[in-house]
Amino acid sequence: MGTGRAGIQTQAAGREIPDGLLEEYIPFWRELAQRQQEKLKRASALETAQKGVILHNGEEDCTGVLILIKGRARGYILSEEGREITLYRLFPRDFCLFSASCMLRGIEFEISVLTEEETEFLHIPAEIYRSVMQESAAASNYTNEVMSARFSDVMWLLNQVLYKKMDSRLAAFLLEESDLGEGNSLQITHEEIARHLGSAREVITRMLKYFQNEGLVKLTRGSVELLDEEALRRIAGDSLR
């Protein structure tokens, strides 16, 4: 492991970008002027980070725009008590803009971004992306669309935390993790689930034991097996996205 830009720990940081990759992963590429395209080509880097690497650490840095090519990451906030809650997940083709919040006027977020598996991504320095965005209406419009979608994610989560019971949020989380390709047997600890949901491990453990007693899941060390998805969906209700 080496140290990449803005404190990102990466492997093979700054690898040469294959022809056509920027065109494929930047939706507004064809609407940019040639000099804007050249600016992005010169400044962008293709990087890889292993699972569990912090790509962006709140106010401590302004990493830049990250565009996922492969893998998965999560954006989360940390309370003063040290409790985490996942705000959104990042998948291939997603833009991570909060990692470059310094370029967005009047927006300050204490959001950290952590890889959930080995992740390959494009990294565009904040000042370069900002200069292109200021010159290109297409880039500015797309950026606003992404930010709007992220704010919607955060508002949806706020509604869940304020108004939904933990059993429905937990059931929804388990089902969503299963849909992400984990299958019915999730390799995840109670502590990890608690970090995603912004809860205490003891609360999650108590709720999972209740689910197990009801025949909904089977608990083993470091894993949760879903036994009755239909019942979990009924419990989850509109906590499922």
Mean pLDDT over 107-118 rounds to 84
Residue closest to 25 by CA, chosen among 57, 67, 70, 65:
67
Residue 150 scores a pLDDT above 80 = yes
217 closest CA partner among 241, 193, 239, 197: 193
Strands of the sheet with 223-226, listed across from one edge: 185-186, 223-226, 217-220
Is 0.75 surpassed by the pTM of this model?
Answer: yes
Q: What is the DSSP letter of 164?
A: S
Which strand (E) or helix (H) includes residue 130?
A: helix 126-135
C-alpha of 191 from chain center: 18
Map out the domains of the chain as residue ranges. Answer: 2-162, 164-239
Fold that domain 2-162 belongs to in CATH: Jelly Rolls (2.60.120)
pLDDT, tens digit (0-9, with 9 covering 90-100), for 134-149 = 999 999 999 999 989 9
pLDDT band at 190 (very low <50, low <70, confident <90, very high): very high
Q: Is residue 103's pLDDT more than 90?
A: no
Give me the CATH code for the 164-239 domain, please. 1.10.10.10
The model's confidence at residue 15, banded by pLDDT at 50, 70 and 90, is confident
